[in-house]
Amino acid sequence: MEELANLFHGFAVALQPFNIMVMILGIVLGVVIGVLPGLGGANGVAILLPLTFSMSPTSAIIMLSCIYWGALFGGAITSILFNIPGEPWSVATTFDGYPMAQQGKAGEALTAAFTSSFVGALFAVIMITLVAPLVASFALQFGPAEKFAVYFLAFCSFVGLSKEPPFKTIAAMMIGFALAAVGLDSITGQLRLTFGVTELLNGFDFLIAVIGLFGIGEILLTMEEGLAFRGGNAKINLRVVLQTWKELPAYWMTSLRSCLIGCWMGITPAGATPASFMSYGIAKRVAKRGNNFGKGEIEGVVAPETAAHAAGTAALLPMLSLGVPGSPTAAVLLGGLLIWGLQPGPMLFVEQKEFVWGLIASMYLGNLVGLIVVLTCVPIFAAILRVPFSIIAPLILVLCAIGAYSVHSSTFDVVLMLVFGVLGYLLKKCNYPLAPLVLAIVLGDKAEEAFRQSLLGSQGSLGVFFSNALVSSIMILGLIALFWTAIQEGYTRLRTRLA
């Protein structure tokens, strides 16, 4: 087992005192970045990248990847406490995480989220350690048609889940698609739906929409109901961690499924966002208490978090072995590798053994260190909810404004954020589901792009989506997921009629 020997050597590298220090610093910085909306993993890593130029490449990548883990952990905190997802893949975490916090179970939700993240990441790292070369060649199978099929599957496994009237769901999702289409059309290089307004050149960023719709909208709803966060009675001691851990093993099936979905999405590389939505959608259908999803079910936190982090970790594999980033943050890390004179690609695993295995070892250790750091802070995070609303609300509003501004350094975006906030309040009161809208903003333009790239390649023939075994099977999975509710309903109806 040459790999194992290399791995142990990697541990020796990662366990040097300087590297451990760098690791802890990276995790803490990452959590801060993840908590502040607008900074996010990709921006945070990009901002801190130049600081690492004076380190050795191995220390530098350990620090940057730890920032990445920290940001992944940190993203869950605001999703659960304030309904503000800082990253696209944290959106699905809000569905059950925020209701849990409102019921005074913020500590449980945070523990479940952090632990699931760790499990997902660990699973993905083990996979990277054992089957790296094999997996890399799988990623090469994915052209535009296969990518579209994956997005199709993500949409299908998610729509039809909401209990809201179907035409409201459709309207909400279409609003999302329309917003995603604004700006530059990447296929024709032409502007669309901008009406000559230069501020609309960048289109509608997911983060601004989500800070407004979810975060500000939620504050407005709270104002309407009288000035109080309903999570004030959250337990704030470390025992909550142990109690939650006792519950978690019951969801091993969900965890395993989410790990697999996450690894698959990370490698292809469709990324963590479709992984989290897909995993949540499937868990809701399959779980015993699936009908209770959205009302504060712990399994609804486990599923998306596990998948998102498995995907986030697995996304580093195609980056290292192929030089194609599986996520925006991986893209920045890739830039870092090139600046240090390391060329990601097939030769990296052969020529830069110390670096690669040091990085993989730091994935194990960094995640472990990260888990310990964030878990010990659970009581502190949960205690934030005890701060009176009239203090915390203006601070959240200011942080939201900063977050919205720092996405594109534009004050126009801050105005948009407020508009989305009022919109979120109105839509929610009128029973329009917000999740499909956000899903469409996040994945809409990517799905359209992949669709049109495929058609360009096939010269207009739709047959391309069923042209080989891989793409056909993903498309069929998608169709099954789409009609799952109908199939189930038909089945129950049939049974009641017969009974």
Q: Among residue numbers 241 through 280, which ones bind another protein (CB under 8 A)?
A: none
Residue from 12, 21, 131, 140 touching another protein (CB under 8 A): that is 140
Q: Does 401 bind another protein (CB under 8 A)?
A: yes
- Tell whether residue 468 is a contact of another protein (CB under 8 A): no
- Work out how close the CB of 82 gets to another protein at its nearest, in angstroms, rounded to a whole number: 15
**Per-residue string for binding with another protein, 142-161, x by CB under 8 A?**
xxx-----------------
Using the contact rule CB under 8 A, the part of the chain among 6-14, 260-268, 304-312, 339-347 near another protein is 339-347
3-42 binders of another protein (CB under 8 A): 32-33, 36, 39, 42
Q: Which residues, numbered 197-236, are part of the site for another protein (CB under 8 A)?
A: 198, 201-203, 216, 219-220, 223-227
Quick check: 469 binds another protein (CB under 8 A)? Answer: no
- How many whole angstroms separate alpha carbon 326 and alpha carbon 263? 11
Pick out residues in 295-324 that bind another protein (CB under 8 A): 318, 322-324
Contact call for residues 337 and 358 (beta carbons, < 8 A): no
Q: Considering the rule CB under 8 A, would residue 383 count as an interface residue with another protein?
A: no
Smallest distance from another protein to CB 107, Å: 25
Kindly tell me which of 322 and 374 has the beta carbon lying closer to another protein.
322
In the complex, least distance from residue 415 CB atom to another protein, rounded to whole angstroms: 5
| 185: contact with another protein by CB under 8 A | yes
Q: Does 434 bind another protein (CB under 8 A)?
A: no
* Three-point CA angle 39, 208, 303, nearest 5°: 75
Q: Which is nearer to another protein, 133 or 490 (CB)?
A: 133
CB of 21 to another protein, least distance (A): 18
Question: Does residue 170 touch another protein according to CB under 8 A?
Answer: yes
Of 1-9, 166-174, 273-281, 465-473, which part binds another protein (CB under 8 A)? Answer: 166-174
Smallest distance from the beta carbon of 226 to another protein, in angstroms? 8
| 331 binding another protein? (CB under 8 A) | yes
- Which of the residues 98 through 127 are near another protein (CB under 8 A)? none
User: Residues 19, 43, 157, 313: which binds another protein (CB under 8 A)?
Assistant: 43
Number of chain positions touching another protein (CB under 8 A): 112
**Which residue, 430 or 498, is less far from another protein as judged by CB?**
430
